[in-house]
Structure 1
Amino acid sequence: MPEPLPELRPLLDSWELSLRAVNKSPTTITSYKRGVRLFIEWCERTEHRAELTRPLVQTYIAELIEEGKEANTVRLRLAALRAFARWLVEEAELSDDPLVGIKQPKIPTKVVEALTDDQLRDLIAACKGKGLRDRRDEAIVRLMAETGIRSNELIALAVSDLDLQRGLVTIRRGKGAKGRIAPFGPQTAAALDRYLRMRRSHKLADTDALWVGVGGKSFAYFGLNDTLRDRATRAGIGGFHLHLLRHTFATRWLRSNGSEGGLMAVAGWSSRSMVDRYTGASASERAAVEARGLGLGDL
């Protein structure tokens, strides 16, 4: 008689403890737990018993694709279930991993157009002002656009992570718990300096967190999302999302003839495929510029 499969929901908190114990980042833990929780909710909604079996997971993934979920969403959901399955085996909650060998489905990746230089200038201009929020938002936009720093990495920065004189920001805990140093230029340094001088009079001036909110409050992801969306609306930029600044950084780097190796180092990528993923929309444009410079038709 086959062994009964464990109930999944009661095990989520134990799994979270184990993820913390192996020093997974808060972002990874949140993403993993959300991925498994959404699977459990789908099981309940479709009147399936919430258990980890290969056929059930394949059905779930197929439905995500039919619903039109983006490739990255499907990838993250499956990655969460795979990680959970491995942990269940390690903890002897399952005798075998049912998801070993299950393949990522091939889904067309959505092409993301980077901001143009004019749009980026308009976004910066929409942050202009003499208030704390204005100076903070301009510094944030400039830093994100010039270094490609991820939103969660930006929020985690401490004041001591900035070296304005040398134009360097230290990202101590990037994706995969990997740190790196990213450079920025004089305009970004000046914007950061203006913000830091105003920050001195804030209620949280003595705390480590680099970014502070208005009215003496702290500043976190949702505050970042709301304030930059508002700035984008003022700049007349439709469909703005935080990750768009990372796409813009990568595209502008390659348009300026920066090397792919340098881009990977500054962006914190270990896989060459990430370059294509973030700059695919501008690849034809760059190829056309390169082709004109080669003069292959000059016979």
Structure 2
Amino acid sequence: MPKRAVTPDLGVLLPSWLLALRADRKSEQTVKTYSDGARAYLAWCAAHEAEPLERGSIRAWVAGLLEAGAQPTTARARQLAVRRFTSWLAEEGEIPADPFVGIKAPKLDAKIVEPLTDDELRALLKACTPPKGATPAEAMRYRRDEAMLRLMLETGARAGEVVSIELADVDLQAGTAVIRKGKGGKGRVVPFGPHTALALDRYLRLRAHHRLAVTPALWLGDRGKGFTYDALHKALGMRATAAGIVGFHPHKMRHTAAHRWLAAGGSEGGLMAVAGWTRPDMLMRYTKAQASARAADEARSLNLGEL
């Protein structure tokens, strides 16, 4: 009877996989998401004495996530992380074959994300106005957050892409910013108008006095720290709370930007190019919440009932 293959220590191999992800130019946020998912799975397997390379184990783990109240999108992302890990293990010859090939992902609900209204956007931007008596450091944080919000609103750039922008990537006179770390390693140039340029200029004049002003990163944090995705999430969340907006998430700015582009008469092709989408279905996913309202406005302007 043939001996059963010994499962390698997957925890020891995790750092090598993360190196491979970075070599493939995956964003740091993607690397973190994959790492967290794989680590969580291995920890669950250890706690339940489950074999990590068996299909029953990953199915039980995902089922447990859903039963514990995790969103289907979260469970799907966690499962995807594990599947990416085992695929890499097979490619590297660490295991004979990927045991999770063809395994189904959790079914997602057709979730619709409503864009922010114009009143909410105005309140959000107003919350970024420095109060009287603010110190230069405090004023810089307010101006930084306004500049980020305006850039995200006008370009539809992902939060992770915005965080990665460097000082040299921004040209205020031309009204452009270079996205060098787009999804899938694809870069692009995004345009912005005078209001965003003004917000960036106000921030940059205050940024010049920061202790890290000579560093390449565009956005600077508090007390000499760098600025991360988590910092962006926290900073903009605070502004949203001050503006009285419930359920805010930075990714909602991308949905809002896409809706406003189409509502203003912008082309779908132009939106895809600026937002960094390569598939039309992604555009529909982000803009379907207000599709009927846009269609109604367009129908009224066409006035096809006039005969």
User: Which residue in the other structure is 1:115 paired with?
Assistant: 116
Match of 2:260 among 252, 255, 262: 252
Query: CA shift at 1:70, angstroms?
Result: 3.1
Query: CA shift at 1:67, angstroms?
Result: 4.1
8 A contact 1:85–1:98 mirrored in 2: yes
**CA 66–287 in structure 1, closer or farther in 2 if over 3 Å, else same:** farther
CA distance in 2, matches of 1:213, 1:89: 41
| TM value normalised by structure 1 | 0.91
Gaps in structure 1 of 5+ consecutive residues: none
Alignment of 1:74-153 (within 5 A): 74-129=75-130, 131-153=139-161
SS in 1 for 2:165: coil
Alignment of 1:1-299 (within 5 A): 1=2, 2-45=4-47, 47-129=48-130, 131-295=139-303
8 A contact 1:211–1:219 mirrored in 2: yes
- Output the amino acid matched with 1:226: K
| TM value normalised by structure 2 | 0.89
8 A contact 1:71–1:109 mirrored in 2: no
Query: CA shift at 1:86, angstroms?
Result: 1.2
CA distance in 1, matches of 2:274, 2:77: 23
CA distance in 2, matches of 1:185, 1:223: 25
Query: CA shift at 1:155, angstroms?
Result: 1.5
8 A contact 1:151–1:242 mirrored in 2: yes
8 A contact 2:51–2:57 mirrored in 1: no
Gaps in structure 2 of 5+ consecutive residues: none
Query: CA shift at 1:295, angstroms?
Result: 4.2
1:205-251 per-position Cα deviation (integer Å, ceiling 9, x unaligned): 11111111244443222322222111111111111111111111111
8 A contact 2:25–2:184 mirrored in 1: no
SS in 1 for 2:178: strand
1:79-123 per-position Cα deviation (integer Å, ceiling 9, x unaligned): 212211111112222111112122333221322111101111111
8 A contact 2:72–2:108 mirrored in 1: yes
- Output the amino acid matched with 1:152: G
Quote the RMSD (CA, aligned, Å).
2.0
8 A contact 2:143–2:202 mirrored in 1: yes
Q: Percent identity?
A: 52
CA distance in 2, matches of 1:68, 1:272: 32
CA distance in 1, matches of 2:104, 2:269: 29
1:109-150 per-position Cα deviation (integer Å, ceiling 9, x unaligned): 322111101111111111112711121111111111111122
